[in-house]
Amino acid sequence: MSGSVVDNNTVSSGNSSVAFPTDISGPILDLDEDDDLEVFSKDTTLTDGSSFNASMQTSPASMINQYKFEEEEEVDTKDIFVIVDNPESHVTAIETYITYRVVTKTTRSEFDSSEFEVRRRYQDFLWLKGRLEEAHPTLIVHPLPEKFVVKGMVERFSEDFIETRRRALHRFLNKIAEHPIFSSSEDFKIFLTAASGELTAHKKQGPGFLSRMGETVKAVAASVRGVRNRPQEFTDMQEYVEAFSQKISSLDKVTQRISREQKEYLEELKECGPTYALWSQSEEELAEPLKNVAGCVDRCCKETEEQVKHLNDHLIPVLHEYVLCADTLKAVLRRRDNIQADFEAKTEALATKKADRDSDSKVLSLAWDSLVGRSPEEVKQQKQQKLKGEIKEMRDDLDKSEDRLEWANNALKSDWTRWQKVMRNDLRSAFIDTAERNVSYYEKCLAVWESFLHSQKTDADENGKADFS
């Protein structure tokens, strides 16, 4: 058996546990939203075009509960469930690294068992992403969190860092599991099931360094040549991605700045409560109101702390994830262009070869051949035969390139539609979740201060009656 089999239906994740459904042919498991490594990696048409109507009900519950996604009406057929949890630190003589437990439950017949448990490190996830991109250059592979940068070395193994990366890796694998093509990949299956030694051996079976270097050189050459007749639909995609990238990047930066400012505000707010409490000790007449204000500030501090945490755990990761998605899309479009550029180059080469065959200039070379004892007719036939063979070989190669280009175009068009649907659902869900949290936050803070005003009004009325009597 490759990979260890899980004997129970509950997997620990941090301080909480996540339960797999007993029957995974039923409703989809509601997995948590995942972040990216350093806080998750353009167009105004990000939403479905619906607009806000002032006549709509303004009750938070009514607005949010009314909102239904089209996707909710679809029948779910997910048959692979993956959880990434339980990070462990490993220290060797040359490096320190983190591994994560990857637990899989599936009903697919191609798997030897229905449950697997393996441990993987970040480099393994990176290998899987690379293999999927290599096998399907114009399909959209969900982004991984960025690799760690030197400037954050001090925080590399902090709990927050590890948890953020765990969530991002969890989300990455579940996006792969939900993909109609990637989820059936042999590399994905091996990643989920193989023991560490088996995975290492499988990774060595990939193309060697020289082969990868050759492909890189070809890609660079194709990009330098560029494409002459890119179909309009892919030009439209490119323009959309550029606009999307600008907008999502700006929103990501602004949201992160808001988060930093809210953290600063929270730190200052935490100093207010004790100040009011201390002041109440020296103001006998204001002692009770000051204590009440201190209590209100403390309660608002707790709500603000939850608000900041929610922003950093839910909205920012999704936004940054789609910043990375925009980079992925640009790379996919470049690879498609390279495939077309290669096809165009081979088309030109074949046309040149045919022109050489038909050119009268070839006859001029026969003079030299006749001097060495060979008849011009014999030389001509040999050259024509050689050119015929070369042309046939080039035509066969061109046919393969044409088939590859057609597959690449069709794959990208299909996956583009799928990605847009997923993207809009993810962003819409994140925005609604944030709106719901904001409404709850402000309602709670409002209730805190209204209770203070009510208490002060009651005290004033009682004092007024006492003065009157």
pLDDT at residue 356, as a whole number: 76
Distance CA 319, CA 312 (A): 10
pLDDT at residue 81, as a whole number: 95
Please compute the mean of the pLDDT values over residues 27-52 and round it to a whole number.
38
Query: Residue 10 pLDDT more than 60?
Result: no
Q: Which of 19-23, 41-45, 247-251 has the highest mean pLDDT?
A: 247-251
The SS3 assignment for 296 reads helix
Query: Residue 429 pLDDT more than 70?
Result: yes
Q: What is the pLDDT of residues 285-315, one digit of tens each?
A: 889 999 999 999 999 999 999 999 999 999 9
Q: Is 381 exposed, middle or buried (0-12, 13-18, 19+ CB in 10 A)?
A: exposed
H or E element, residue 94: none
Query: Residue 22 pLDDT more than 80?
Result: no
Residue 70 or 240, more confident? 240
Please compute the mean of the pLDDT values over residues 28-35 and round it to a whole number.
37
Residue 216 or 429, more confident? 429
Low-confidence winner among 142-156, 187-201, 318-332, 395-409 (lowest mean pLDDT): 142-156
Low-confidence winner among 35-44, 374-383, 398-407 (lowest mean pLDDT): 35-44
> What does pLDDT average to over the chain?
80
Low-confidence winner among 126-135, 140-149, 299-308, 337-346 (lowest mean pLDDT): 140-149
pLDDT at residue 418, as a whole number: 95
Task: Give the model's confidence band at 210: pLDDT under 50 very low, under 70 low, under 90 confident, else very high.
Answer: very low
Low-confidence winner among 43-52, 71-80, 103-112, 419-428 (lowest mean pLDDT): 43-52
Of the CA atoms within 13 Å of residue 306, those in its CB half-sphere come to 12
pLDDT at residue 261, as a whole number: 95
pLDDT at residue 285, as a whole number: 86
Of the CA atoms within 13 Å of residue 255, those in its CB half-sphere come to 25
pTM (two decimals): 0.74
Closest CA to 34 of 216, 175, 182: 175
In b/e form, how buried is each residue of 347-373, taking b as 16+ CB within 10 angstroms? Answer: eeebeebeeeeeeeeeeeebeebeeee
For residues 322 and 39, the answer to whether their CB atoms sit within 8 Å is no
Tokens 């940054």 correspond to: 320
pLDDT at residue 409, as a whole number: 96
Distance CA 181, CA 213 (A): 27
Task: Give the model's confidence band at 135: pLDDT under 50 very low, under 70 low, under 90 confident, else very high.
Answer: very high
